[in-house]
């Protein structure tokens, strides 16, 4: 195939040189002694046209040439003795010599593949490229550039090649008025061709400048992105350092706090005032004894002493002992600044009164509460009636009573203690 391509290329170069000297039109020339079917030169034949054109820089066959390729495929299938040399061409604007040769080869291969897909035998087809060496028209105009982006179907019979270019190409080119063996007439419309060349040159230069400006702008944008990325990285680094310093400072402060001596808490007594407390806890009942009140009373008394209270503690008190302890507490009230009464044990509410039950109570009926229980309202009356040297004395009553009425079988008893109303000193 390489030898055949070189041979065809040599023939084409020699022929073009001869045609240029003698003024012979490429469209009217044949090489070879054996004639091809007249169908190929019949203007009314579907295989009369033998040029396929391409867009700039690509080798993709346009759909507008599908019908032409189908006609040539059917013609080749019907004439298996014919071969076709598919010659790919490019323009001077489609790259270097090597690039244009490669592009022409791709265009020829694209036509070859299309014909094979339409049923043509591979042995009938040969794809070669002339690159930008075989121009059909000077490329100083848009039309000239468009025509040179082409592929030619050159039919061969019995080992000979035809260099006949399709009449469609001859119709597109300016009609040559010179005859064979006559000198070529000078180019017409020289000024128009020069103007086209200048316009194309200006367009190419303008495109080059635009491309250069775009590259410079992209480079500047790339540098700007790099600068912004560097600034963001620097900000992250500074922020991480600041966070680390804050963390270290917080850890140092925490170590200093832990190592510093803890201040001693001041004693509960912050000023010179007298605090009195009456603490009663009853657990040892004959009926429904309790486990905690006596111990709770002892704990409360111990705690109040730490806060400066003078406490009177009575555990498991009878009714008489509760009355006696209350009387001793009342004797000390005039000199008190704070007075507190705490009771833990059984408590029963009856007829809107709250009765604290002593350990020796023997209750069977509800009416016996008034005789055997201790009315907690007496403590409120005592605190309200006995004045103190300190008009702002604080009075506190705490009833931690067990709300269990199993001591008495009456169904008229309330569940738990009733609400107690204290005077303004409470």
Ranked by mean pLDDT, which of 26-40, 204-218, 256-270 comes out on top?
Answer: 204-218
Measured distance CA(1)–CA(326) in Å, rounded: 134
Q: Give the residue with greater pLDDT, 156 vs 12.
A: 156
Tell me the percentage of the chain whose pLDDT exceeds 70.
Answer: 73
Grade residue 261 by pLDDT with cuts at 50, 70 and 90.
Answer: confident
When pLDDT is averaged across residues 61-73 and rounded to a whole number, the result is 94
Nearest CA to 331 among 346, 312, 345, 306?
312
The three state secondary structure string of 308-345 is: CEEEEEEECCCHHHHHHHHHHHHHHHHHCCEEEEEEEE
Across the chain, mean pLDDT equals 78
DSSP annotation of 34: S
Structure tokens at 207: 């495109």
Measured distance CA(290)–CA(299) in Å, rounded: 16
Instruction: Tell me the pairing of strands 275-281 and 338-350.
Output: parallel
Structure tokens at 385: 């009636």
Structure tokens at 368: 């016996």
pLDDT for position 287: 83
Q: Transcribe 37-88 into DSSP letters.
A: PGGGG-TTSTTS--EEE--TT--PPPGGGHHHHHHHHHHHHH-TTEEEEEEE
Grade residue 192 by pLDDT with cuts at 50, 70 and 90.
Answer: low
The whole-angstrom distance between residue 128's C-alpha and the CA centroid of its chain comes to 53
Angle at 174 between CA 173 and CA 177, to 5 degrees: 130
Measured distance CA(331)–CA(72) in Å, rounded: 137
For 343-401, what is each residue's pLDDT tens digit? 999 888 888 889 889 999 888 888 888 888 899 899 999 999 888 888 888 999 999 88
For 124-158, what is each residue's pLDDT tens digit? 999 999 988 887 766 556 666 778 889 999 998 75
Q: Give the residue with greater pLDDT, 414 vs 40.
A: 40
Compute how many other C-beta atoms are within 10 angstroms of the C-beta atom of residue 368.
13
CATH T-level assignment (fold) for domain 2-182 = 60s Ribosomal Protein L30; Chain: A; (3.30.1330)
pLDDT for position 176: 38
Q: Give the residue with greater pLDDT, 65 vs 273.
A: 65
When pLDDT is averaged across residues 161-173 and rounded to a whole number, the result is 40
pLDDT for position 200: 76
pLDDT for position 201: 80
Q: Give the residue with greater pLDDT, 306 vs 160.
A: 306
Structure tokens at 285: 């009942």
Counting Cβ atoms within 10 Å, is residue 225 exposed (0-12), middle (13-18) or buried (19+)? exposed
Residue tagged 């009416």 (tokens): 367
Evaluate whether the domain defined by 275-402 bears CATH number 3.40.50.1460: yes
* C-alpha gyration radius of the chain: 61
Name the 3-class secondary structure at 397. Answer: strand
Name the 3-class secondary structure at 222. Answer: helix
pLDDT for position 168: 40
DSSP annotation of 43: T
pLDDT surpassing 60 at residue 283: yes
Name the 3-class secondary structure at 267. Answer: coil
When pLDDT is averaged across residues 200-227 and rounded to a whole number, the result is 87
Grade residue 406 by pLDDT with cuts at 50, 70 and 90.
Answer: low
Q: Give the residue with greater pLDDT, 184 vs 397.
A: 397
Q: Give the residue with greater pLDDT, 409 vs 91.
A: 91
pLDDT for position 175: 39
Q: Give the residue with greater pLDDT, 315 vs 23.
A: 315
For 24-49, what is each residue's pLDDT tens digit? 333 333 333 357 898 899 999 999 99
What is the domain partition of the chain in residue ranges? 2-182, 275-402
pLDDT for position 400: 86
Instruction: Tell me the pairing of strands 353-356 and 125-131.
Output: unpaired
Whole-model pTM? 0.38
Q: Taking the CA of residue 109 as centre, how many other CA atoms within 13 Å lie in the half-sphere pointing to its CB?
A: 8
Measured distance CA(285)–CA(279) in Å, rounded: 18
Grade residue 22 by pLDDT with cuts at 50, 70 and 90.
Answer: very low
Longest CA span, the chain? 161
pLDDT for position 246: 92
Q: Give the residue with greater pLDDT, 83 vs 173.
A: 83
């Amino acid at each position: 195939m390489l030898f055949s391509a070189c041979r065809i290329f040599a023939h084409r170069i020699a022929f073009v040189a001869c045609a240029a000297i003698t003024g012979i039109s490429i469209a009217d020339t044949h090489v070879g002694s054996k004639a091809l079917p007249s169908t190929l030169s019949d203007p009314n034949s579907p295989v009369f046209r033998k040029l396929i054109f391409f867009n700039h820089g690509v080798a993709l066959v346009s759909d507008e040439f599908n019908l032409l390729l189908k006609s040539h495929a059917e013609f080749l299938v019907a004439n298996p003795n014919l071969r076709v040399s598919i010659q790919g061409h490019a323009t001077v604007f489609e790259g270097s010599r090597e690039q244009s040769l490669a592009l022409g080869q791709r265009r020829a291969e694209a036509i070859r593949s299309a014909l094979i897909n339409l049923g043509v035998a591979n042995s009938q087809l040969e794809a070669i490229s002339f690159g930008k060496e075989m121009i059909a028209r000077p490329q100083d105009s848009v039309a000239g550039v468009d025509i040179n982006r082409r592929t030619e179907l050159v039919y061969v019979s019995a080992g000979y090649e035809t260099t006949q270019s399709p009449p469609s190409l001859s119709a597109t080119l300016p009609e040559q008025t010179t005859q064979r063996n006559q000198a070529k007439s000078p180019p017409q419309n020289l000024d128009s061709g020069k103007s086209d060349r200048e316009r194309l040159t200006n367009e190419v230069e303008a495109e080059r400048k635009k491309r250069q400006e775009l590259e410079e702008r992209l480079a500047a944008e790339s540098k700007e992105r790099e600068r912004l990325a560097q600034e963001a990285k620097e900000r992250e680094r500074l922020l991480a350092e600041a966070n680390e310093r804050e963390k270290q400072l917080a850890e140092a402060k925490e170590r200093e706090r832990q190592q510093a001596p803890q201040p001693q808490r001041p004693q509960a007594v912050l000023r010179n005032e007298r605090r009195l407390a009456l603490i009663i806890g009853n657990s040892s009942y004959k009926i429904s004894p309790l486990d905690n009140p006596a111990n709770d009373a002892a704990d409360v008394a111990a705690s109040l002493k730490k806060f400066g209270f003078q406490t009177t503690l009575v555990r498991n008190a009878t009714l008489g002992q509760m009355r006696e302890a209350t009387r001793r507490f009342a004797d000390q009230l005039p000199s008190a600044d704070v007075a507190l009464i705490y009771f833990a044990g059984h408590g029963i509410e009856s007829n809107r009164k709250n009765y604290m039950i002593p350990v020796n109570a023997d209750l069977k009926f509800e009416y016996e509460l008034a005789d055997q229980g201790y009315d907690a309202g007496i403590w409120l009356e005592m605190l309200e009636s006995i004045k103190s040297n300190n008009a702002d004395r604080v009075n506190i009553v705490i009833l931690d009573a067990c709300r269990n009425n199993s001591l008495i079988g009456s169904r008229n008893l309330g569940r738990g203690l009733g609400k107690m109303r204290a005077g303004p000193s409470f």
